[in-house]
Amino acid sequence: MYSNFFKKAFDLLISLLCLPIFVILYCIIGIMIKIEDGGPIFYKAKRIGKNSKIFDMYKFRSMKVNAPNILNKDGSTYNSKNDVRVTKVGRFIRKTSIDEIPQILNIIKGNMSFIGPRASGAEALKSYKDDEIDKMKVKPGITGYTQAYYRNGLSVREKRLKDSWYANNVTLWLDVKIFFKTIKTVLKRENIYTNDAENNLERKEQLQNEESIIDK
| pLDDT surpassing 60 at residue 31 | yes
pLDDT per residue as tens digits for the range 42-84: 999 999 999 999 999 999 999 999 888 777 776 667 777 778 8
* 96 phi, psi to nearest 5 deg: -95, -5
Which SS3 state, helix, strand or coil, does residue 61 take? Answer: coil
Query: Residue 201, exposed/middle/buried by CB under 10 A (0-12, 13-18, 19+)?
Result: exposed
Q: Where are the domains of the chain?
A: 2-214
From 70-79, 127-136, 193-202, the region with the lowest mean pLDDT: 193-202
Residue 195: predicted pLDDT: 58
Residue 3: predicted pLDDT: 80
Average pLDDT over residues 6-25: 92
Element (H, E) at 15: helix 7-37
Angle, vertex CA 162, rays to CA 136 and CA 186, nearest 5: 100
From 9-13, 146-150, 208-212, the region with the lowest mean pLDDT: 208-212
More confidently predicted of 67 and 143: 143
Distance of CA 93 to the CA centre of its chain: 12
Residue 215: predicted pLDDT: 44
Establish how many alpha carbons lie within 13 A of residue 62's alpha carbon, considering only the half-sphere containing its beta carbon: 22
- E strand spans, the chain: 42-48, 54-60, 113-115, 141-143
pLDDT per residue as tens digits for the range 146-193: 989 987 778 889 999 999 999 999 999 999 999 999 988 888 765 555
More confidently predicted of 6 and 81: 6
Question: Could you tell me if 144 and 181 are in contact, meaning their C-beta atoms sit under 8 angstroms apart?
Answer: no
From 32-46, 160-174, 195-209, the region with the lowest mean pLDDT: 195-209
Query: Residue 165, exposed/middle/buried by CB under 10 A (0-12, 13-18, 19+)?
Result: middle
